A and B are shown apart, each in its own frame.
Chain A
C-alpha cells in the first residue's frame, strides 16, 4: 500500500498569510493521480486539486498544487477566514486509494 505522510500536523497562521502543506508518498505516485481535499467540521470532504495541480470546479485561484514523484505541495497564497479547515492528500493511482492523515490549518 502507498502510505501518504502529511506535514505539518497542525499549521497556525493568520488570514492574509501564505500556507504551504506537504504530502510525501512512500513510493512514487503518478502526478495524474494525486488529489487534495478540504474538510470543515461536520461536512464531507471537498475536492480542491486533482492531477496534482489542476483546480477543481469553483475552487479559487489562491489554491494551487505542485509536485511529482513522492513529494507534493498544496499552497494557499493568501489565507481567507473560510480556508481554515483540515486538508487531506490522496493517491488514486493504485488500490487501495489511500489518504494522508491530514493537516489542520488553524487561525493563529
Chain B
C-alpha cells in the first residue's frame, strides 16, 4: 500500500534551517511528483513547491524562493524539504503529498499525503 512517512517534529531557533524528509513506499517513486504543503496552527493549506523525483527538477512558490530547497534520493525513495532563515511565522505542520505525472508533465490531484511534521520556530 502507498505510504508517505515523514520525519519527526523539530524545534528550531530563528535564523536556523530545518530539513524534513518524506519516505515513499508502495508505488513507483519516479512516476509521481511530490509536493510540500504547510499549515500554520489553526490556518489553511499553503502550497510550497514541487519536485519531480525522476529528474530532480523543482518549482517553488514565489513566497519561498531563495529559502526553500527540495531534493530527492532515488536510492531510498525519499524526498527532502529544507527551509532556511526560519522565523516564527514558519511554525507550521509541513506535509508531503504526491500527484501523478500526467501526459506532458501535467500535475494531478494530491491523492496521498504524509502524516505531517510539526516545525516549531522559537527562541
Q: Is A101 at the interface (CB under 8 A from chain B)?
A: yes
- Report yes or no: B116 in contact with A44, Cβ–Cβ below 8 A: yes
Which of A35, A46, A88, A92 gathers most chain B CB within 10 Å? A92
A43 CB to nearest chain B CB (Å) = 8
Of the candidates A45, A92, A98, A101, the one whose C-beta lies within 8 Å of that of B108 is A92
Q: Is B10 at the interface (CB under 8 A from chain A)?
A: no
- Report yes or no: B110 in contact with A95, Cβ–Cβ below 8 A: no
Q: Which residues of B contact A47 (CB under 8 A)?
A: 109-111
A108 CB to nearest chain B CB (Å) = 22
Q: Which residues of A contact B110 (CB under 8 A)?
A: 35, 37, 45, 47, 90, 92
Q: Which residues of A contact B108 (CB under 8 A)?
A: 50, 92
**Could you list 25 examples of A-B contacts with CB < 8 Å?**
A35-B109, A35-B110, A37-B45, A39-B45, A44-B95, A44-B97, A45-B45, A45-B95, A46-B113, A51-B109, A56-B111, A88-B44, A90-B45, A90-B109, A92-B99, A92-B107, A92-B108, A93-B107, A95-B59, A96-B61, A97-B35, A97-B50, A97-B107, A99-B45, A101-B44
| Known contacts A44-B115, A45-B113, A47-B110, A102 near B59 by CB under 8 Å | no
A24 CB to nearest chain B CB (Å) = 15
A8 and B50 CA atoms in complex are apart in Å by 30
